[in-house]
Amino acid sequence: MRVLVVGGGVGGLGLAQGLRRRGVDVTVFERDAGPRARRQGYRLHLDTRATSALRSCLSPALFARLPSITGTPSRRVTVLTPQLKTLHTVEITDPDSTSVDRGALRSLLLAGLDGTVHFGSAFERYASLPGNRIRVHLTDGSHADGDVLVGADGIGSRVRAQYLPDARLIDVGTHCIYGRTPLEGVRSSVPPPLWDGFCPVTDRRRLGLALGLVRSAAVEDYVMWCLSARAGVLGPDLESLSPAALHALVAARLASWHPNLRHLIAEATVAETFALSVRSSVPCPRWTPTRVTLLGDAIHAMAPSQGSGANLALLDAARLCEALTCPGDLIPAIGAYETHMTATGFAAVRASLKASRPSLLGRLPTRR
């Protein structure tokens, strides 16, 4: 069996690792020109879902490297006011709850996959061939044939667009500006609860500032921050603004906030500031399983409010790997994977929307 995976992100690489480990021929087509062609974003929260999936997909030697890239355990979430008073605290009971730099995680997931991952290979479309084969056409005019096609190509998935053209995304109506600040120059300004976990800061009206630390041997320690607000509150066309303009906007919006928070923003690596508007998948009805399937954001993208997306992409990868390598018929195994994957993934989509924009829940179809 040859498995073709479109997308070398968290989920696609996890799946490739798992399949390779079990001796399956797998090829990953990744649109980026190389592993460092594009910034991979910043801190990801990982929990027991990711840890168990990585244990299943990675070789024992690679899995043993995980602690060297993850940070200290996240023990609690502490919600603060703009003047750094504690509003409330939620204890985290998951012993695996931690953080990781996205680029460091991707490097770990790429280890040993030379020859398996084809960079600069953007998927265009697929076609069914006689004999249950599938042909993947790339935008450079080349093609590859295999027995199973996995769309792991993220929120804008072209595989999903062709396979499930009725599956939709909605704009959640939340805009975020992300940035990061090297920890070294701002240690004394770090709110004490941040050393133990994640800190959302809220003015309880219009603005939220999420703060998270990344401390590991893999990268320079830093504070990740994200200012979020309803669309329009931070101004129009945020995504067209330069990093410097976005950074200045955050600094201006926080002008009356605690001096320590202003210092965290002032010392940021300005060029690494970016904006995004949050989108979410709309759960779609179950489809008849075939040799084409999907994982991660390609089918259940969600608002980042609960830090679940990467955890679920890895969980999907581990479950799909088991389905593709278990004895028995392939299509029922893919169908069983999809039943689990959509149940877990769409529940997380609903939970993330409930946490960030409950008013939009009514726009999702009712649970079946």
Ligand X SMILES: Cc1cc2nc3c(=O)[nH]c(=O)nc-3n(C[C@H](O)[C@H](O)[C@H](O)COP(=O)(O)OP(=O)(O)OC[C@H]3O[C@@H](n4cnc5c(N)ncnc54)[C@H](O)[C@@H]3O)c2cc1C
List residues near ligand X by CB under 6 A.
Answer: 6-12, 29-32, 41, 44-45, 122-123, 152-154, 158, 178, 296-298, 304, 307-311, 313
Nearest by Cα to 165 from 277, 291, 278, 294: 294
Nearer to ligand X, 9 or 208 (CB): 9
Strand-pairing partners, residue 181, are: 223
Nearer to ligand X, 113 or 260 (CB): 113
Report in angstroms the alpha-carbon separations of 59 from 39, 45, 332.
27, 22, 27
Nearer to ligand X, 249 or 301 (CB): 301
Nearer to ligand X, 18 or 258 (CB): 18
Residue number, nearest CB to ligand X: 9
Nearer to ligand X, 224 or 254 (CB): 224
Q: How far is the CB of 327 from ligand X (least distance, A)?
A: 27
For helices 48-57 and 10-21, angle between their N-to-C axes, nearest 10 degrees: 40
Coil, helix or strand at residue 152: coil
For helices 309-325 and 10-21, angle between their N-to-C axes, nearest 10 degrees: 30
Q: How far is the CB of 198 from ligand X (least distance, A)?
A: 9
Q: How far is the CB of 130 from ligand X (least distance, A)?
A: 25
Contact (Cβ atoms closer than 8 angstroms) between residue 160 and residue 299 = yes
Q: How far is the CB of 137 from ligand X (least distance, A)?
A: 11
CA distance linking residue 349 with residue 335, whole number of Å:
20
Q: How far is the CB of 307 from ligand X (least distance, A)?
A: 4
- Dihedral in degrees, nearest 10, Cα atoms 162, 163, 166, 171: -70
Q: How far is the CB of 103 from ligand X (least distance, A)?
A: 12
Report in angstroms the alpha-carbon separations of 327 from 98, 269, 322, 331.
35, 51, 10, 12
Contact (Cβ atoms closer than 8 angstroms) between residue 199 and residue 78 = yes
Nearer to ligand X, 124 or 322 (CB): 124
Nearer to ligand X, 260 or 272 (CB): 272
Q: Is 112 left (phi over 0), alpha (psi -120 to 50) or beta?
A: left
Nearest by Cα to 43 from 241, 174, 183, 247: 183
Q: How far is the CB of 224 from ligand X (least distance, A)?
A: 9
